[in-house]
């Protein structure tokens, strides 16, 4: 990826219902903060109040510009039903050039909006 082109990342969160996962996906697309979003059916294991929980959840994986991470995390928190949602960023090291161009256009917002 050349210096001028935006860098991309994968940002993931998890949530306990599909409608909530869809709400997050549509909010990120509407704000042009993600080029596309994938939703995976999962089971999550974690400790809560001393008890091991094993709950059906959905993992939401957004492809976004790295420079938009803070705005994207804020948008996820705004659309999320949890008080402290998982929001983690993994950076993309390389990608198909035509796809990255498409993703850059899909997340293009005028400078003031960044």
Residues near a second copy, by CB under 8 A? 8-10, 14, 22, 25-26, 29-30, 35-47, 52, 54, 57, 59, 63, 66, 69, 73, 76-77, 84-96, 98-99, 102, 106
82 close to 44: Cβ distance less than 8 angstroms: no
42 close to 17: Cβ distance less than 8 angstroms: no
59 close to 12: Cβ distance less than 8 angstroms: yes
Measured from the Cβ of residue 57, the count of other Cβ atoms closer than 10 Å reads 20
Considering beta carbons, is residue 3 or 22 the nearer one to a second copy? Answer: 22
CB of 81 to a second copy, least distance (A): 14
CB of 32 to a second copy, least distance (A): 9
Considering beta carbons, is residue 96 or 110 the nearer one to a second copy? Answer: 96
Dihedral class, residue 50 (left if φ above 0, else alpha if ψ from -120 to 50, else beta): left
Considering beta carbons, is residue 99 or 113 the nearer one to a second copy? Answer: 99
């Amino acid at each position: 990826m050349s210096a001028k082109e935006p860098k991309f990342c994968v940002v993931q969160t998890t949530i306990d219902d599909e409608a909530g996962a869809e709400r997050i996906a549509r909010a990120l697309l509407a704000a042009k903060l993600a080029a596309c979003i994938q939703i995976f059916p999962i089971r999550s294991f974690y400790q809560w109040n001393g008890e091991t929980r094993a709950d059906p959840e959905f993992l939401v994986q957004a492809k976004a510009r790295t420079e938009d991470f803070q705005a994207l995390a804020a948008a996820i928190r705004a659309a999320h039903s949890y008080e402290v949602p998982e929001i983690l960023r993994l950076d993309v090291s390389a990608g198909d050039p035509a796809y990255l161009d498409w993703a850059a256009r899909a997340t293009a917002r005028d400078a003031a909006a960044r």
